[in-house]
Amino acid sequence: MDFQSLVTIPKQTVSEQSLVLVVDDDEDNRLLSIHILELLGYICISADNGHTALELSQQHRPALILLDVAMPGMDGLAVVDRLKQNPQTATIPVIALTAMAMVGDRERILRAGFDDYLSKPYDLVELELTINRHLSSSPML
């Protein structure tokens, strides 16, 4: 089955609203997320660390950010804190994609400033629903 034929997005509907920044230090996880999002019709840019994520979010102002929490150097908690304090990026929805799934992790991550939380391995339908919910409710940037 050709998955590309299942998703046909007319070029005129692809806009800044569909740009998603994927941030994960694990290359396999990052590439998998990008592949899934592209099949769903999103345009993706990616970063493998927090510093690059902040730079790309400033330059491109994505409609949404999928952000790993546990990364070396600047972790996702520090990244989301800086994003939410910056007036240019504060309104961008940031969804945590993380392996942190112990009791209390979800609440701690949401308190840190993330707009939503999905634990790895995530359900594809849940990922799509979560993204759609945030994009449909986010202000135009």
Q: What is the CATH number of domain 20-134?
A: 3.40.50.2300
Contact 74, 49 (CB under 8 A): yes
pTM of the model: 0.83
Beta bridge partners of 118: 97
Sequence ranges of the domains in the chain: 20-134
* Strand ranges (E), 5-127: 19-23, 43-47, 64-67, 94-98, 116-119
Nearest of 75, 27, 66, 29 to residue 44 by alpha carbon: 66
Q: Residue-wise pLDDT tens for the chain (141 aa)? A: 444 444 444 333 434 458 999 999 999 999 999 999 999 999 999 999 999 999 999 999 999 999 999 999 999 999 999 999 999 999 999 999 988 777 788 888 999 999 999 988 888 999 999 999 999 865 544
